[in-house]
Amino acid sequence: EDQVTQSPEALRLQEGESSSLNCSYTVSGLRGLFWYRQDPGKGPEFLFTLYSAGEEKEKERLKATLTKKESFLHITAPKPEDSATYLCAVRSGSNDYKLSFGAGTTVTVRA
């Protein structure tokens, strides 16, 4: 069974204070790792797809990286508008039809 674990559960940052979120996974043949952002009362919004160990993707203040066992979402010099829950999901060879999600990390950025 695919397992996705995100840490920490919650992260409080001061504006400008860079930090990283972790997503560790155990799957049978990774087919893709996905990062989503979810604002309160909204649906998840797609951010990045990663596939190969060593791969990196960037969007504004966010950078996602991937190793064979985990992914990191780095938030550089965050702003209050980066406050959200960040979700990690994987597709695997044994469950290629679905995304298996972690429980998420809730990030709060104070001005």
Partner 1 sequence: NAGVTQTPKFQVLKTGQSMTLQCAQDMNHNSMYWYRQDPGMGLRLIYYSASEGTTDKGEVPNGYNVSRLNKREFSLRLESAAPSQTSVYFCASSARTGGLTEAFFGQGTRLTVV
Stretch that binds partner 1, among 15-23, 39-47, 63-71, 73-81 (CB under 8 A): 39-47
94: contact with partner 1 by CB under 8 A: no
CA distance 78 to 13: 8
What would the two tokens of residue 61 be? 């203040």
Q: Is 101 in the site for partner 1 (CB under 8 A)?
A: yes
- Is residue 108 involved in binding partner 1 (CB under 8 A)? no
Name residues contacting partner 1, limited to 60-89 (CB under 8 A).
Answer: 87, 89
CA dist 110 and 78 (Å) reads 9
User: What is the per-residue DSSP string for 10-53?
Assistant: EEEEETT--EEEEEEEE-SSEEEEEEEEE-TTS--EEEEEE-ST
Q: Could you list the residues that contact partner 1 (CB under 8 A)?
A: 4, 31-32, 34, 36, 41-46, 49, 51, 87, 89, 91, 96-99, 101-104
